[in-house]
Every structure is written in C-alpha cells, then in structure tokens.
Chain A
Amino acid sequence: MIRTTPFYERLDPMNRTGLYGHWSGYLSALKYDMSAKDEYFAIRNSAGLFDTSPLFKYWIRGKDAERFLAGVLTRDIRLCRPGRAQYTVWCDDGGYVLEDGVFFRHSETEFFLTAARPNLGYLADLVGRLDVQIEDVSEDFGVLAVQGPRSRDIVATLTPDVAELPYFGLRQTKIGSAPVTVSRTGYTGDLGFEIYVGTDDAIPVLDAVLEAGAGRGLRPFGEEALLMARIEAGLVLIDVEFGSSRLAFNDHERITPKELGFGWMLRGIEADDRPFIGRNAIRRELAEKTSRWAMVGLLVDWQHYARLYNDAGLIPPKDETPLSYESMLYDDDGNRIGYATSLMYSPMLQRHIAMARVRPDCATLGARVNLEVTINHEYQTVGAEVARLPLFNPSRKTA
C-alpha cells in the first residue's frame, strides 16, 4: 500500500490535479496546479513549499560518530562544525560514487543524515567496534522545504532566530509549541529553508507556515517544478546524473566524484592523512588524470535553435519540462564527446540549458559542442556553449 507523508491530509486538498508520483514509497505531488511553470515562478519570485518528507533520515550518534563518518564519507566531515550542514557523497573502494546526502551536525557527537535511498544496512555494517549508534528515523519526521526569495521573511515570522542563519546553517528552535530543526538548505538553488518536524507536530507546523506565507505568494509546488529548479541550480539527481556504483553492471554505469563535478569536495586529499573509502582510487584518478568525464553546464545557441526549427517550418518549442532521456553531444567532426543528462528550457535564463557530461578535453568554458535534437523525426545538432554550473546562481542563495 502506498504511504502518505505527515503533511498529506492538509496538502492533498490543495492539489487540484490529483497527480502524484511514487517517491520512496510515498505519494508525492507532481504538481498542485495545472501549470508546473506557475509553481516554478513561485520558487523564483516569491516562495514555494515542497513536502520532502519521503527522504530517508538517520541519526548517527556516538563518541566516535565523527571518526566513523570521516572514514566513510568522501568530503571531510570534520570540517563541518556543530550547527552546520554538509552535502557530501560516499564512494566504494573503486572510487565510484555510491550515493549522496546531507549531514546535519547537531553537536560534536550527533549527526542527522537525509538521503534519497536507504542506507542503514550499508552504514551499520561499517561501524565495527566504534562507539556509533545509527537509528533509522525516516518515519519520525516530516520535512518541509520553503524555498524562494521570500522564504526568509516567511520562516522568520515563525521563528525570528533563523533570520541570520547562514547558508547550510541549522538551528533547533520552535514553531508554535513544536520543536523543529530549521536549516538553510534546499534543492532549488535559491534562498531557502528546510523545516524538520516530528510527525505528531507536522500539521500544526504546516498550518503555521501556510498562514505566514498567506499574502506573500507562498504556494505548494510539486516534483515537476522542483526538477526544473534543480537543473538551473546544477544539482545532480540520483538515477539521472548518477547511479549507485553498488548497483551497476559495469563501469559505464559508474561515476567518480571528480567526474560528477565534485572536484571541490576532494581538495587537499593528496596531502590529507584521513583514510576514507575510495581514497586511494580517487588519489590515483587525480594523479594519473584518468577521469573519463567532466560535468559541465550547456547554454544552447538560441539563434541556431530558432533557425533550425523555423527552417523546418516549425515554431521553436520552448518547453520547460526536462527531457527524460540523454541527448548526445558531438564535436565539429561528428565524434561523440559526451551527453546531456538533463535538458530543459529555462524560463529564468530564457534559453535551453543542460547539465552535461563531456570528455575532460572538451570541457573548456566557452567551448562549442553540438547537441543532438530531433526535428521532423530526424536527428540534427544545435550548437551549445560549455558553461560553469550552476547556470542560475542568485546572490540571495548564499547571502
């Protein structure tokens, strides 16, 4: 039987479409209103509310919790102070990415993990003799993401102490009488907050958020709007930009952190004495420059795109719905040099954009690549320019 989140009873009547996807076994609204684009604009211009409760959630506690995680996670968790959160990946010993998630450090010895896939078994098997307790609390919390330029006004109305929360900061506080954790995190690339609340308090907290957002343009948004925002924000998605190495049949299905665009997580690992799973393979990859791919953004040549369609007698489509398949990339000689993993028309940037994987020698910023599109049932290529991710990066996100 499909499950529902702790916010479902209040959010479901707001869903005029009846459209839901199944996300980790839960009903998750695809959109609440007839236009996902309308919801997307709430994220970019006022504020949107997303029920992100289906994430898996774990407490990782104990005297040795930091030591344990430092040995498992690719990014150095020791740099994450209490009151801060850290986005990271963890790899297998071949240096390939298993999964990603966000660790919220509540204290020296307490970490809270949210991840897209279940991880209790994997993590627990690695504890050994360390003083670490891992608890699956996935069903004990609801999570509300409040995202957009007005999100700070809305959340600070309920709990003023979050007004000064830095990017990736977190704070335990109260909304009404309900204890909550509020973090300055999200999956939209905009100013945004996430509110973690115990299941029993979920509805009163949601009601308080909705009330604070009334007149400020707050509206719930579904997965479709979220996926538009995350592509503009250059945020990778499991099963789209990468899959777990543990579940791969071959290395084509695997990817290293460097290849996934996470070179920044690896800074200093050559000199660092921190052993972690996959370190040796990653060091080798960096030293021998064996990365197969580089993660880049693409800005499609709008003039070329319009000309191709106009010449074909068609109106150039500008659809903000991300394509659900890979689009191949070629160099000027017709050699395949990579593929776009996520491609969409960005209403904010007013052009087609993509997250893409290209051969490292083709990843120079400003380099021109040729992106495959289908026009009148035939393959054609449209020019695109390699650009730095994220393609949309408002200063308010981190300010």
Chain B
Amino acid sequence: MSKSREYDAIVVGGGHNGLVNGAYLAKAGLKTLILERRHLVGGAAITEELVPGFHFTTFSYALSLLRPDIIHELDLVKHGFMPILMASSFAPMENGDYLLLGPDSDENIHEIARHSRHDADAYERYEHDMARVCHAVKPLFDKVPPNLFGKSPEDLEGMADLASHLRGVEPKVMHDLIRLATGSAADFLDDYFESDIVKGYLASSGIIGTKVGPFSQGSGLVLLYHSMGEHDGNFGAWAFHKGGNGGFTQVLARAAQAYGAEILLESPVDTVITREGKAVGVALGDGTELKADIVVSALDPRRTFLELVEPRELPAELVENINRLRFQGTSAKVNFALDGLPKYPALGDRSDQYRGFVNMGPSMEYLERAFDDAKYGWYSKRPYIDGAIQSVVDPDMAPPGKHVMSCFVQYAPYHLKGSDWDTERERFADTVQATLESFFPGFGDLVLHREIVTPLDIERVVGLSEGNIFAGEFFAPQMYFFRPAPGWSQYRTPIDGYYQCGSGTHPGGCVIGAPGKLASQQILRDRSTKG
C-alpha cells in the first residue's frame, strides 16, 4: 500500500451505515475509501457459514427500519436487494397455548378473540393509532435534526420547520406520541388490551436492545421506535433479507463499489489524524497513513470521540457528555443449527407458525421478571427470546430439511455482578436452551450446533461499546437533539472535516441506514458551502 494515497473522503467502519455513507459520497463524485477492521463488511449485519451449509445471522437478524429512500437512491434492487415477507408472528405460551398472527387481519381477529374478545377490535385500533404516530414521526427520521442550541439562520430555519411540522400533527396523535416517548409500554398497552399474551407479544418490542422492562418509563419509546419500521408500506412489519442481513450488507457493498467507492478489509484505523483542528486523514494499525480532508466515523460515539481522536482536543462538555452516555448492552444471542423444525405440541405437525418471529415473552410480567434479574447484575433465569427460523423464510440458509434458528435473548447485562461473560457463556446458553426446551419439548435433540454471542462478544467482534446493539441506549435524553450529545446531533464534530455517521447518531440503531445517508447530506452541504 502506498503511503501517500489520497482520498476525498475516508469512512472508518464498514458497518451498514458506513457503507451507506460511503456509497452516497461516492455517488456524489467523491473519491471515497471505506475502511473495515474485519475480514468482511457489515459490522453487526453479517451472515456467516459457521457450519457447512448453515448460514448464521450472528448478530442483527431482520430488516424493517431501513429507510425506503435509500433502496432507490442507491439502486439497491439492481445489486440484489430482496426483502422477503415474514408472514407470521408466533407467540407460544407457558400453558401450551399460543398466539399466532398471520397476514390475514380478519383471521387475526379470531385468533386474538380466542384469548380475549375485547382485544380483537382493540388490536385494530391500536395498530391504527400506532400507524398514525409513526406517520407523524417519519419525516423526522429522514431529516438532519435541527440544532436546538444554534443561532445561525440555518438552525433557526430548522427549528421553524420542526415547529411547523409538529403543529400539523393532530392533538390525539401528538398526545400518543408524547405518551410513547416518555412513558412505559405497559401503560400504553393497558389502555387497549386485557389479554396477557397479546400484551406480552406487543410489549416485547418495547424492550428489545434496551435496559428497560415493559413497566419502565422509556419502554414506550422503544416500542414506538420498533413500530417505525416498515415493509412495503406496512408500519411495524419486518422482512428477512435474502441471505440474512449479511446478504443485505453485501448488496450495500456492491452498490458502494459500483459508485466507485473503494473498500479495504482488515484495515483497522488507529487514529484520525488532525492538524490545527482539521481532519487530514487516518492512521491504520500498521502505521499506514491515508490522506483525506473528510473523515467519517461509523463507529459508536465513545470510539468516535474518545478513541479515534484525542478527547483532550475536544470541548470538555462534549467529552463529559460522551463519557456519561449510557451503553450498558443487555442483549445476547444464541443461534442454532437444527436437525429439523421444533415441534409445538398444540400445533401438531404444522410448521407455518415459523414463517416469521417466534416471540417467547408470553406476558408483560414474564418480561418484567426477566428484567428484574438484569437490574441486579445477572442474566435472566428465564429470558425473553425473539426467535426466527430463518431457513423457513429463505431455504438457502440451511441444507434441505435442516434449519438455522436465530435467538435474540434478553436480558444479558454487559456487567455481571461477581462473574464475567467468558465464565458464564455456556451456562447462559444452557439457560436459553432450557427455556426453548420448555416451550418446544425435544428442542435439545434437534441442536446440531450452537453459537453463543454474549454482550462481550458483541463488543469484541463488532466493536460496539459494552455490546449495546444501538450504539448508545434508546433513552429520551440520548435521542434526536441529543444523539449522541447536545449540540452535536448534526453529524459534525468539533474537528473540521471529521464527521460521525454511526447508529449513535440520529435516528439511531437497527439496520436503518439513515445516519449514513443524513451524514452524507451534511458532508456534501458543508463541502459546497466551503466551495
């Protein structure tokens, strides 16, 4: 590698937001380099063939939040973008019964009525109300947040636009939005439903990735966030990308390369080189220096501000804010290669219940008790599990007749009291498998291989601090104007030419792409202003 290579822009980190950012910059004509520490791009959105024929979505495992604009603007369909419908949601219960929701809303009415006639029509109202809130919030996901603290004409105009948009939102929708943004999932759901299984199933979306229980204030925000995703125009619907989320990030990589971006694997960045308050390039772990006037960090805020650059060169208040940013990952995964489909006794030989998520969180109380363990520094004795037998949706994920099952598990706090994850990993996985066994008798006999991913693994392998899957908790004080820190929510940093585009910026985590895209808009706008 030449020591004098120069680029217009260097993106640090080939996760999905880094790829999106690099693709947009390259599309705008910038000579762009994307640097990835590992042997493959994708960050937390990768698919790995860990056992011959069995493809595991090691970390992130489904697609919904991805902004639809990005699909077209980056011409992703041409490069193989293919989100496959996840047609069902299956929620087993501890008494052997279940809630099985499918693509026919009228059939769902009867299924919900089995558990509560009252909830059958409540479900329709709930979905409608959520869709209205999502529709009102959606424009905020697709724009750089205004700077609440700025006084420039641009900042004032941004605030005026926001105020104008919010004034257009109907009072009921606005009230629902505030209740979700500040309250608990339980309070919101209690207004609609009486059935434990219905509430448990819905409340699960209010805890994913976050150190809250459904009764905690703040779980409403997580619930809203997960409802913001869409599949082909349906809010809250999820898809499975062909080949998993690794299949998706390969599509992104091809798109970025087609626009001329260069991707370098196994190239960890050690430092962002600055000169008199300006970014001038990066230094790799092996000492190689690469020059660019624009450097974009797709890493999380802690790494962006405290590791890639010298915190001593940053404003003290920013450093203080980043230091107190909450990460505290609480999620883990156990992925299985299976010899066949699990049997659910109440459904006999049926298998159509596996065309989507398998949600093992049968009541809000179940979820809250799982959270209780985490509050005191331990993983749940009976965890919440979001399973997905992805080979049912995409048979190419496993050999004929065999299956892969992704299991997202909560709670698994990064900091364990009196032990550590390397000590506990097998015992933790046994706990998860025992929980699965309790819902699916005989599950253990099907297991050919299991992959354990603890919060520590997430941190070590992907680089997400404390294993937080969103690159920073989804807490109201860490969102929008304040993501990742007050005054720095517009993808810029105090260092001229140094930008941030990871999930730790608005609108945050999941496979969403928006931070990557919005950061590129900011970079291109700044570049044109500078002439």
Contacts and interface: CB of A to CB of B under 8 A. Distances in A.
Interface of A: 16, 33-35, 37-38, 41, 44-46, 150, 214-217, 302-303, 306, 310, 315-320, 345, 347-351
B72 A302 contact: yes
A33 B392 CA distance: 15
A35 B85 contact: yes
Q: Determine chain A's interface SS by DSSP, over half rule.
A: loop
A317 B234 CA distance: 8
Given A34-B102, A316-B233, A347 B85 contact: yes
Contacts of A45: 82, 84, 242, 394-396
Shortest Cβ-Cβ A-B pairs, 3 listed: A318-B233, A215-B400, A217-B395
A294 to B, nearest CB: 25
B87 A345 contact: no
A37 B85 contact: yes
Interface residues of B, number: 32
A38 B85 contact: yes
Given A35-B103, A45-B84, A45-B242, A315 B135 contact: yes
B71 A315 contact: no
B7 interface: no
A318 B103 CA distance: 15
Nearest to A302: B72
Interface of B: 68-69, 71-72, 77, 81-85, 87, 102-104, 107, 131, 135, 139, 232-235, 242, 352, 355, 394-396, 399-402
Contacts of B394: 45-46, 217
Contacts of A306: 68
Contact of B352 (A33, A150, A350, A351): A33
A5 to B, nearest CB: 24
Given A33-B87, A44-B82, A45-B395, 17 more contacts: A34-B87, A35-B87, A38-B103, A41-B85, A45-B84, A46-B394, A46-B395, A214-B401, A306-B68, A315-B131, A316-B233, A318-B232, A320-B232, A345-B233, A348-B77, A348-B82, A350-B81
Given A214-B401, A315-B131, A316-B233, A38 B395 contact: no
Contacts of A302: 68, 72
Contacts of B399: 215
A349 B87 CA distance: 19
Nearest to B86: A38
Contacts of B103: 34-35, 37-38
A41 B233 contact: no
Contact of A215 (B81, B85, B107, B395): B395
Nearest to B72: A302
Nearest to B81: A350
B400 to A, nearest CB: 3
Contacts of A318: 232-234
Nearest to B242: A45
Contacts of B87: 33-35, 37-38
A34 B232 contact: no
Contacts of A216: 395, 400
Nearest to B355: A38
Contact of B107 (A34, A37, A46, A320): A34
A350 B77 contact: yes
A35 B233 contact: no
Contacts of B71: 350
B104 A351 contact: no
A315 B233 contact: yes
Contact of A34 (B83, B104, B395, B401): B104
